Amino acid sequence: MKLSDLSVSEFRQRLAGDGVVVETGPFTFGLNVHLPELADGIRLLYGDFRLGDAARLDFRLRVRPRRTLASLGRYAEVFIDGRLVFAPFPRRAAMPNIEWALNWWIYNFAHRYLMIHAGVVARGGDALLLSGVPGSGKSTLCAALALAGWRLLSDELALLEPDGLALRATARPIALKNESIDIIRARAPGWAFGPLAPDTHKGTIAHMKPPAASVADVAMPAAPRWVVFPKFDAQAQTHLAPLAKSRAFMELAENAFSYRAKGQVGFHQLADLIDSCDCYSLPFASLGAALDELAGLCDTNRRTGTA
């Protein structure tokens, strides 16, 4: 049963009461939200996800108005398993804070995986990892690739199983910031987006609903095939440039949340991932040109032996 199979009234009642239980790939979380204005946005963004079993919860996330006279109902708080996760935030920023809280739990507790800060999409069973600093354009590229038919695994985290080279998916909504919101809206008129959240510490944020096919296939693993480091630069000539695997290893190690905690196991796991992939940098000034370059990766003749 999917979340959207609940009627609007039943969903609202559950969300503000005992909560809804959502399966998102390998994780099952309970969600209690006591901000009525969020109900429609959550139902829209998570409508294609399966409802889970409350007996198998990994954690429970709760959002409520801040209970102080000074806040006058303008601020909210987010808790995971009763623990206050972030400082109080304006209610209009509640949707991003829910997503950040979900990420916070994964970063801190999903240590069985090697976790890399990267967007992941796949074509067939082959996965493309997009890694870069904030503002590099990885979430924009993830959204555009998902709209172009690639399967979305995540715009935020690559989750590598401890044995072998299987990447797990969560397929959660894609967080877009500032100018990227209008860029992606223009590419997909009529596509569903959650509410705008202005003036967060990352600017204005809106979430793009993940493709239903990606959510339906969320349990399917993918194998790493390409690692690309995009960097948006309005003056750049858009091109994929082969990147030395030693350099790619160091870049991913800097963006791997559980790499040091895993010690030697993490080192070998990351080395195996890099060995299995072709690695590139991608400076780009045009989203369309970047997508053309990435589409060319599916040409099996385009392999590099860069060491």
pLDDT at 82: 96
**CATH number belonging to the domain at 114-172+210-298, selected among 3.40.1710, 3.40.50, 2.40.300, 3.30.720:** 3.40.50
pTM of the model as a whole: 0.94
Q: In angstroms, rounded to a whole number, what is the distance separating the alpha carbons of residues 293 and 32? A: 42
pLDDT digits (tens, 9 = 90+) for 24-56: 999 999 999 999 999 999 999 999 999 999 999
Mean pLDDT score of the chain: 93
Cβ neighbors of 273 (< 8 A, separation 6 or more) are 114, 160, 165, 224, 227, 252
Q: Are 152 and 248 in contact (CB under 8 A)?
A: no
250: DSSP letter: H
Q: In angstroms, rounded to a whole number, what is the distance separating the alpha carbons of residues 276 and 160? A: 13
- The DSSP string of 144-203 is HHHHTTPEEEESSEEEE-SSSSPEE---PPEEEETHHHHHHHHHSTT--B---EEEETTE
pLDDT digits (tens, 9 = 90+) for 71-119: 667 999 999 999 999 999 999 999 999 999 999 999 999 999 999 999 9
pLDDT at 301: 46
pLDDT digits (tens, 9 = 90+) for 200-227: 999 999 999 999 999 999 999 999 999 9
The CA-to-CA distance between both ends of the chain, in Å, stands at 48
pLDDT at 163: 87
For residue 137, pLDDT over 60 is answered with yes
Percent of the chain predicted with pLDDT > 90: 84
Adjacent-strand bridge partners of 33: 63
Domain ranges in the chain?
3-109, 114-172+210-298
Q: In angstroms, rounded to a whole number, what is the distance separating the alpha carbons of residues 248 and 245? A: 5
307 — pLDDT class (breaks 50, 70, 90):
low
68 — pLDDT class (breaks 50, 70, 90):
confident
pLDDT digits (tens, 9 = 90+) for 154-167: 999 999 998 889 99
pLDDT at 305: 44
pLDDT at 174: 98
pLDDT at 300: 52
Secondary structure (3-state) at 253: helix
User: Which residue, 188, 179, 228, is CA-closest to 210?
Assistant: 188
